[in-house]
């Protein structure tokens, strides 16, 4: 195909094929929904055998970058954030320590974002944040609904910075932490406390006090992590007790 460099670096292992195809998708040589060239043509363009190509395509399908349609061909997926994060969500379910690392990442990133957001506050942003607080108050007894408004508040704050990269990062972190949030919100007392912490964050933002807003966000995220750790320990302890009883 004209305009595309299909050459692989040195050896033609499956990993190299995966890497080259990821580069082409990342460079938007093939965009969302595009069909890749037929298998025979891809083998010729990349200089690899069919088994190697098929193995590479299966790996890309597992990463949600392509979809293999039997008898039709291989298509680039929508490449939407929630789809691409599916493999990471699986990792988080397998490794509880990854959840803690995720919250640590949120602390590092969201505290800085909140400090920056204070200088970008507008009357419209104030109204929207107050609306979200009101929605959260109405849903304080509904963990799943509360977690949705929680995410909306954090993403609204991130959008105030008007940095597309940071917005994508926050949306990705929020998507990955969705299940953990819903789980934490079931712990008695967590949602009312989170609501009060959200109010302090919004109050500092409305006062255009970036430092105070950042401190309030840091305290909030530390408390959320502590609540998650406590809830998880309780869940693990309860499971252990049940196993002991059954034994």
pLDDT digits (tens, 9 = 90+) for 155-166: 999 999 988 888
* CA max distance for the chain: 68
* pLDDT attached to residue 97: 73
Q: What is the mean pLDDT of the chain?
A: 86
pLDDT mean over 169-195: 86
48-82 pLDDT tens trace? 999 999 999 999 998 889 999 998 999 999 988 77
In whole angstroms, what is the distance from residue 66 CA to residue 237 CA? 41
Rg of the chain on CA atoms, in Å? 23
pTM of the model as a whole: 0.67
Q: Is the model's pLDDT at 10 over the cut of 80?
A: no
In whole angstroms, what is the distance from residue 207 CA to residue 213 CA? 9
Band (240; pLDDT cuts 50, 70, 90): very low
Band (2; pLDDT cuts 50, 70, 90): low
* pLDDT attached to residue 4: 75
Partners of 67 in beta bridges: 75
More confident residue, 218 or 12: 218
Residue 10 near residue 44 (C-beta atoms within 8 A):
no
87-142 pLDDT tens trace? 766 666 667 677 788 888 899 999 999 999 999 999 999 999 999 999 999 999 99
Q: Is the model's pLDDT at 236 over the cut of 60?
A: no
């Amino acid at each position: 195909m004209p305009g595309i460099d299909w050459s692989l670096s040195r050896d033609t292992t499956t990993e190299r094929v995966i890497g080259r195809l990821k580069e082409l998708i990342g460079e938007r040589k093939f965009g969302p929904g595009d069909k890749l060239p037929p298998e025979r043509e891809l083998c010729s363009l990349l200089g690899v055998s069919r088994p190697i190509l098929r193995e590479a395509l299966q790996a890309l399908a597992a990463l949600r970058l392509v979809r293999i349609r039997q008898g039709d061909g291989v298509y680039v997926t929508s490449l939407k954030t929630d789809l691409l994060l599916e493999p990471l969500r699986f990792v988080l379910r397998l490794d509880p320590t990854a959840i803690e690392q995720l919250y640590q990442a949120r602390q590092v990133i969201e505290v800085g974002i909140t400090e920056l957001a204070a200088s970008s506050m507008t009357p419209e942003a104030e109204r929207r944040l107050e609306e979200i607080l009101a929605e959260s108050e109405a849903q304080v007894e509904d963990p799943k609904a509360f977690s949705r408004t929680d995410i909306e508040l954090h993403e609204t704050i991130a959008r105030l910075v008007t940095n597309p990269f940071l917005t994508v990062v926050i949306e990705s972190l929020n998507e990955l932490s969705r299940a953990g949030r819903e789980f934490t919100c079931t712990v008695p007392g967590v949602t009312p406390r989170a609501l009060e912490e959200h109010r302090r964050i919004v109050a500092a933002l409305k006062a255009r006090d970036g430092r105070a807003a950042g401190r309030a966000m840091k305290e909030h995220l530390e408390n959320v992590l502590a609540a998650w750790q406590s809830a998880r320990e309780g869940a693990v302890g309860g499971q252990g007790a049940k196993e002991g009883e059954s034994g």
